Amino acid sequence: MKVLVPVKRAIDYNVKARVKADHTGVDLANVKMSMNPFCEIAVEEAVRQQEKGTVSEVLAVSIGPIQAQDTIRTAMAIGADRGLLLQTDLDPQPLAVAKLLKAIVDEEKPDLVIMGKQAIDGDNNAAGQMLAGLLDWPQATFASKIEISGKTATVTREVDGGLQTIEVTLPAVITVDLRLNEPRYASLPNIMKAKKKPLEVRDAASLSVDMAPRLRVVTVTEPPKREAGVKVADAAELAAKFKAAGLL
């Protein structure tokens, strides 16, 4: 079984994002970049399935600038077998990402796509669902547990009401949530081995996919600063303040 895992290069989750002075977007100059945490969980799950013997090959795919090769190398250091970079200086929106991934799925014929439920930069939570729609494949989103048996995947999903367990027939698209696993640390020997694994770089435009944006960013602003709290002496004073504010 072949598994395709999309991985995105994003601002490191430890970095505080800064808005550009002209409010057109987030300032990426001299900012540390790393693999999107949800994508890292997806890679870890694919590798764990490989270690169980249910998966034979893990392909990591990224869409972005040439620097995204580092993101793919990280995925291969975790355990992916090979990588593919669709190089573009554009920041493709979810529909364009889904179309590019569909083109690769049509070429590679994987049995399963495991991907992060969202990227921490755009927070769109849309590419996985769009990819499943374009492929006409079953989908299971927000996975916190995945069990694969033959041509069936049993997925436990995190939903508002608790946990939901569903079965999907492969091929399928599964998007993963935070509690699925804890990604392993990429050891130095594995980082060195990853440098020798095959990594193909292709021009995203060569796939003849329409990457025109459907959304236009009007303005980007930082969230308002929270006002300082107020201490009260006891519950009676707290209740009085609630009443004064019309909350009781």
CB 55 within 8 A of CB 174: no
Query: What is the pLDDT, as a whole number, of residue 125?
Result: 94
HSE value, Cβ hemisphere, 13 Å, CA-based, for 183 = 25
pLDDT at 248 over 80: no
Domain count, the chain: 1
In terms of DSSP H, where are the helices of 168-244? Answer: 188-194, 235-244
- DSSP lists the bridge partners of residue 87 as 64, 203
Inter-residue contact 7 to 60 (CB < 8 Å) = yes
**In this predicted model, what pLDDT tens digit does every residue of 191-225 receive, in sequence order?**
999 999 999 999 999 999 999 999 888 999 988 88
Euclidean distance between CA atoms 209 and 97, whole angstroms: 10
Separation of CA 51 from chain center: 22
pLDDT tens-digit readout, 100-146: 999 999 999 999 999 999 999 989 999 999 999 999 999 999 999 99
Mean pLDDT across 77-88: 97
Mean pLDDT for the chain?
Answer: 94
pLDDT above 90 covers a percentage of the chain that reads: 77
pLDDT in tens, 114-124: 999 999 998 99
We report the CATH number of the domain holding residue 39 as 3.40.50.620
Note whether 131 and 102 are within 8 A (CB).
yes
Whether the CB-CB separation of 120 and 155 falls below 8 Å is answered with: no
Of the candidates 69, 127, 80, which has an alpha carbon nearest to the alpha carbon of residue 101? 127
Instruction: Write down the pLDDT at residue 228.
Output: 85
CB-CB contact of 220 with 23 (8 Å):
yes
Tokens of 226: 């929270």
Q: How is residue 192 annotated by DSSP?
A: H
pLDDT digits (tens, 9 = 90+) for 44-79: 999 999 999 999 999 999 999 999 999 999 999 999
Q: Which two tokens stand for residue 72?
A: 């793919």
Domain span holding position 16: 2-244
pTM (2 decimals)?
Answer: 0.88
Helix axes 37-52, 69-78, angle to 10 degrees: 40
| Buried b / exposed e along 62-95 (16+ C-beta atoms within 10 A) | bbbeeebbebbbbbbbbbbbbbbbbbbeebbbbb
Please, which pLDDT band fits residue 247 given cuts at 50, 70 and 90?
confident
